[in-house]
Copies of this chain bind each other. A is one copy, B any other.
Amino acid sequence: MSETFWKTSLSAVEENKILIRGYRVQELMEHCSFGDVVYLTFKGELPKASEGRMLEMIFTSSTDHSFLAPSIDATRFAASGGTPLQAAVAAGVIALGEHHGGAIEQCSKMLQEAVANGSATAEIVRSYRDRKQRVPGMGHPIHTHDPRTLKLTAKAREWNLRGTHLELAEAIAADLKLPLNIDGAISGIISDMGIPWQYGKAFFIIPRVVGLAAHAVEEVTREKPFRAIKMSDVTYDGPPEREIPLREQD
């Protein structure tokens, strides 16, 4: 058989048939939660225990954080410019970068590599300290006892989903005397599920589009268009008004 340019192991579509990792979509709809289907999509197999419920709980934890999130703010402005819902949501999704949910990718990578290599907690902490970098997934500017993190880690324990990765994350937090944050908790849990770190940010993107969509609709339905930061909230510290210098070619 000749090689095609495109290749996928995720899904297949033909007339009246949609397969997700081999399962007919209508049967997934009948028997599985959304959390189960996300697990299936990323891992290739359906969960055997409470992993789907745990993913639902992760998603519920992260739909919205009000205006205190660059993503929500970016979407508010994009919506205010008069753009359709999906585009306004996309502007916010873009903002979910290294400093905003991105720590799930970084922290999952750290945990998965450390467990694979058998690295000790103290060794990991030292390596970040030596490079003068913050350990991802630790500490929060506002929440010292983040209710999301506490609930997730308690349930992981209760449902027997806490393994070496989440343990390591908690050990690192203890060593640093910082609370494990929401990114760190999610990282430990999905790593214990065997989900590759490359998927990390997805666990924040999926729920956050709910909040982004709601803020976009609220902006458009309750506010006047074209809202922007007022110059009275801005300090201009560039050159004062000035004349264009004469140049040779003028």
Q: Which residues of B contact A10 (CB under 8 A)?
A: 64, 66, 211, 214-215, 218, 238
Q: Which residues of B contact A237 (CB under 8 A)?
A: 7-9
Tell whether A20 is near chain B: CB-to-CB under 8 Å: yes
If A34-B34, A69-B228, A229-B6 touch, whether A239 touches B44 (CB-CB below 8 Å) is yes
Chain A contacts with B in 185-220, Cβ cutoff 8 A:
196, 198-202, 205-207, 209-211, 213-215, 217-218, 220
Query: Which residue, of A5, A19, A38, A74, has the highest number of chain B Cβ atoms within 10 A?
Result: A74
Q: Which residues of B contact A28 (CB under 8 A)?
A: 60, 244
Chain A, interface SS category: mixed
A 139-166 binary contact with B (CB < 8 Å = 1; else 0): 0011111111011100100000000000
Tell whether A99 is near chain B: CB-to-CB under 8 Å: yes
Cα distance A172–B59 when bound, in Å? 36
- The one of B15, B33, B148, B196 in contact with A29, judged by C-beta atoms closer than 8 angstroms, is B148
Q: Which residues of B contact A24 (CB under 8 A)?
A: 147, 241
Cα distance A25–B145 when bound, in Å? 13
Query: Which residue, of A91, A240, A245, has the highest number of chain B Cβ atoms within 10 A?
Result: A91
Q: Which residues of B contact A87 (CB under 8 A)?
A: 83-84, 86-87, 90, 93-94, 97
Cα distance A24–B44 when bound, in Å? 34
Q: Closest residue of chain B to A9, judged by CB?
A: B238
Q: Closest residue of chain B to A12, judged by CB?
A: B236
Tell whether A80 is near chain B: CB-to-CB under 8 Å: yes
Are the C-beta atoms of A65 and B96 separated by less than 8 Å?
no
Q: Which residues of B contact A81 (CB under 8 A)?
A: 70-71, 74, 94-102
12 extra A-B contacts, CB within 8 A, seeds A82-B100, A83-B96: A16-B144, A32-B244, A37-B60, A68-B231, A70-B226, A73-B73, A78-B97, A81-B96, A85-B201, A86-B95, A88-B94, A202-B213
